[in-house]
Structure 1
Amino acid sequence: MKKALFILGTLLAIVACKNDSKKTSESTIQSESEDVTKYPSDVISFMDEWKILLGDGTHTDTLMNYEKKGFFYVSNDGKTDWVVYKTPNSGITSRTSSNTRTELGQLKHWTPKTGGKLTGTLKVQHVSTSGDARVAASYSVVIGQIHSDEGHENEPLKIYYKKFPGHKKGSVFWNYEINTEGDNSERWDFSTAVWGYDMSVLGSNPNTYPEEPTDGIELGEVFNYTVNVYKGIMYLTFISDNHETKTFTKNLISSEYTNDSDIPEQIRRLYAVIDRDGTEQPNAYAEELQYFKQGAYNQTNGKDPETNMIWSTGAEIYNGDIEKQYANGSYTEVWFKEATVGVGVSPDK
């Protein structure tokens, strides 16, 4: 009897050890799984096609298995992984800009005639809550671009999201910057509304805002854009649930702004304060190398509005302290869950 009890006890001890070992093994696996970092390149696979500049001045050409917390990383909203692009109102930026960015720059270059295609599905989570309502760039972020790498290095496309403080809905619009004939100091952007307002809708004083757009996009509301350049023509498509799909075309190799009489009324009204009324080269961007950009290019900065009532927004920057800017709403944050880049295709396909 004692022998039987001894054998039974031994067997129970072995089973218990096995169970404890199994629990320990499962716990270890779970712990290891929780510690695994998910990188932006795990969410959007095209990261080997890009370099990046972050809002603190960090630059890298290698984005596979790369992240930097607070600027470029992965977040999950409870259902989906998103790539986060975050940047303050004031930091270290590129040689040609006063505005910070956490933004991808395409490694491959192309001309409008050879073409290219970029898509993005995103939601804007935050724009600066400070700025000057009279200044067109205030409270806005650029979420996609075509940038020239030659000549004046102007931008035939910038896609914006902008929301005034206190509004529930913001606007999506796109700007075309002329490839200026002669002196580039006369350059300007023509702005076209997608949902909500274009860039020229302003407040009457620094803290007075226009009416909220009825067809605007809220923070956190998902939308999609496609930029397709094919044989010199740019085709734009914007899609969002509960909003009308919008499409646009723009010729990038033949200008419609070659004469003074071609300058749109929007430009004469908006840019009068900084005296810009240039005309464009007849072939626009035809022979210039271009590349895509995508992410969060913060358009709100701390520069005095009196120096430039289009681009100097006078926002809060807390002496450039990034931690304080993040804590006090002086930043922009954009999340992408899907994006592609490739060659331009016929719009009929």
Structure 2
Amino acid sequence: MNKTSLIIIIALVSLACKNSPKEEVSNGDRKIVSKAEFPSDVIPFMDKWKILMGDGTRSDSLINLKKEGFFFVENDSEENWVVYKTPNSGVTSRTSSNTRTELGEKRDWVPEEGGRLTGTLKVMHVSTTGDATAASSYSVVIGQIHSGEGHENEPLKIYYKKFPGHTKGSVFWNYEINTKGDNIGRFDYSTAVWGHDFSVVGSSATDYPPEPEDGIALGEEFSYEVNVYKGIMYLTFTSEDHKTVQFTKSLIKSDFATREDIPEQVKKVYANREKGGGVEREIAYAGELNYFKQGAYNQANAKSTKSEVYGGDIAKQYANGSYAEVWFKTATLGPSVNPDNN
């Protein structure tokens, strides 16, 4: 073997080692995992997604993609985590005032076909500024089902929310109606998982509700499963120190098809707004294209929550707590499964 060939082989081995996470045994039986370089090294389903980041960066090729400050890998010595980070104010999509560093599924599906998304994560930060009377303040959406047709509403948004000064935050999920007729009357109905639901807000801009006793702290690990099977959405939430919680919701038959069906929660949350008085089409999202989303969809925009954005300067927002940051350890995306076989 000549000298040139040997140099090439050494370089290739070095590159492979750099891009492949390793496990080393240290301190007895404790496993120390070296840091991966790319999010696709940690969660290998990245070929199924595209991404929009909080500075407006878009890509539909996520293998060996990273961007410091938005989409990257962190390591806590024991495990690698994919980090999704986004400021309160940046560049966002045409249909939203909220910034995101969030995956969007490339494949569309109708509820009758369905699909399955899982994630194990911990929320590391939510905005520390906002108006406590605004339901979206201090919150981030960590998983979604989004419609790609019609009104482009969201049959599922999974939230984490923590008020300033509280140790524990809340996990809840919202269902947005597929409004019958125009979309002016659209509304979300919220269901608590651990802690409060979306409707629990402060009595004034700076007065917060009681801290949830059964909430989730920043940095506390939990998991969710979203399984849409034959038009029915099955949700499962698990956490080591909390009771496992499950929900079932039809995406093909509405619970909100008449004005008499509108819950008191909705009437309360939307009392002073134009939207919120509508009804849903009887077949809900049946036959309509949908897709999954996962990451950090920051809800703390300056318009509705009066969150501080420092003139849109991202560096200042990161330095002063005006951002959302979510870490995912594992996640899967695939076809739906029969819940009776689980």
TM-score by length of 2: 0.90
Aligned residue identity for 2:243? E
Q: Which residue of 2 aligns with 1:268?
A: 267
Matches within 5 A, 1:45-60: 45-60=44-59
Q: 1:314 aligns with which of 279, 287, 306?
A: 306
Aligned residue identity for 1:300? A
Q: Which residue of 1 aligns with 2:222?
A: 223
Mapped partners of 1:35, 1:187: distance in 2: 46
Structure richer in helix, relative to its length: 1
Mapped partners of 1:289, 1:48: distance in 2: 20
Matches within 5 A, 1:1-349: 38-275=37-274, 276-303=276-303, 312-349=304-341
Q: Radius of gyration: which is bigger?
A: 1
SS, match of residue 244 in structure 1: strand
Query: For residues 106-128 of structure 1, what are the alpha-carbon distances to aligned partners after superposition, in whole Å with 9 as ceiling and x for unaligned?
Result: 00110000010000000000000
- Could you list the runs of 5+ residues in structure 2 that have no partner in the other structure? 1-9, 21-35
Mapped partners of 2:306, 2:339: distance in 1: 42
How far apart are 1:235 and its partner, in Å? 0.1
Q: Quick check: 2:19–2:37 contact (8 Å CA) kept in 1?
A: no
SS, match of residue 184 in structure 1: coil
Q: Quick check: 2:51–2:101 contact (8 Å CA) kept in 1?
A: yes
Aligned residue identity for 1:207? T
How far apart are 1:253 and its partner, in Å? 0.2
Mapped partners of 2:76, 2:270: distance in 1: 41
Aligned residue identity for 1:335? W
Q: Once structures 1 and 2 are overlaid, which stretch shifts more, 34-43 or 59-68?
A: 34-43
Equivalent residue pairs, number: 314
Mapped partners of 1:31, 1:237: distance in 2: 40
Query: For residues 281-336 of structure 1, what are the alpha-carbon distances to aligned partners after superposition, in whole Å with 9 as ceiling and x for unaligned?
Result: 00000010000000000000111xxxxxxxx0000000000000000000000000
How far apart are 1:31 and its partner, in Å? 11
How far apart are 1:348 and its partner, in Å? 1.2
Q: Quick check: 2:18–2:37 contact (8 Å CA) kept in 1?
A: no
How far apart are 1:279 and its partner, in Å? 0.2
Mapped partners of 2:302, 2:309: distance in 1: 6
Query: For residues 144-189 of structure 1, what are the alpha-carbon distances to aligned partners after superposition, in whole Å with 9 as ceiling and x for unaligned?
Result: 0000000000000000000000000000000000000111011000
How far apart are 1:273 and its partner, in Å? 1.3
SS, match of residue 173 in structure 2: strand
Return structure 1 stretches of 4+ with deviation > 4 angstroms: 29-37
Percent sequence identity over aligned pairs: 67
Query: For residues 88-146 of structure 1, what are the alpha-carbon distances to aligned partners after superposition, in whole Å with 9 as ceiling and x for unaligned?
Result: 00000000000000000000110000010000000000000000000000000000000
Residues 227 and 35 of structure 1: CA distance in aligned 2, closer, same or farther (over 3 Å)? closer
How far apart are 1:51 and its partner, in Å? 0.1
Mapped partners of 1:31, 1:61: distance in 2: 24
- The alignment's C-alpha RMSD in Å is 1.6
Aligned residue identity for 1:328? N
Aligned residue identity for 1:289? L
Q: Which residue of 2 aligns with 1:7?
A: none
Q: Once structures 1 and 2 are overlaid, which stretch shifts more, 50-59 or 273-282?
A: 273-282
Q: Quick check: 2:185–2:277 contact (8 Å CA) kept in 1?
A: yes
Residues 33 and 195 of structure 1: CA distance in aligned 2, closer, same or farther (over 3 Å)? same
Mapped partners of 1:256, 1:84: distance in 2: 36
Q: Which residue of 1 aligns with 2:7?
A: none
Aligned residue identity for 1:231? K
Residues 119 and 31 of structure 1: CA distance in aligned 2, closer, same or farther (over 3 Å)? closer
Mapped partners of 1:65, 1:128: distance in 2: 29
Query: For residues 226-271 of structure 1, what are the alpha-carbon distances to aligned partners after superposition, in whole Å with 9 as ceiling and x for unaligned?
Result: 0000000000000001100000000000101111100000001110
How far apart are 1:33 and its partner, in Å? 5.6
Query: For residues 26-79 of structure 1, what are the alpha-carbon distances to aligned partners after superposition, in whole Å with 9 as ceiling and x for unaligned?
Result: 9xx999967986100000000000000000000000000000000000000121
SS, match of residue 186 in structure 1: coil
Residues 198 and 228 of structure 1: CA distance in aligned 2, closer, same or farther (over 3 Å)? same
TM-score by length of 1: 0.88
SS, match of residue 120 in structure 1: strand
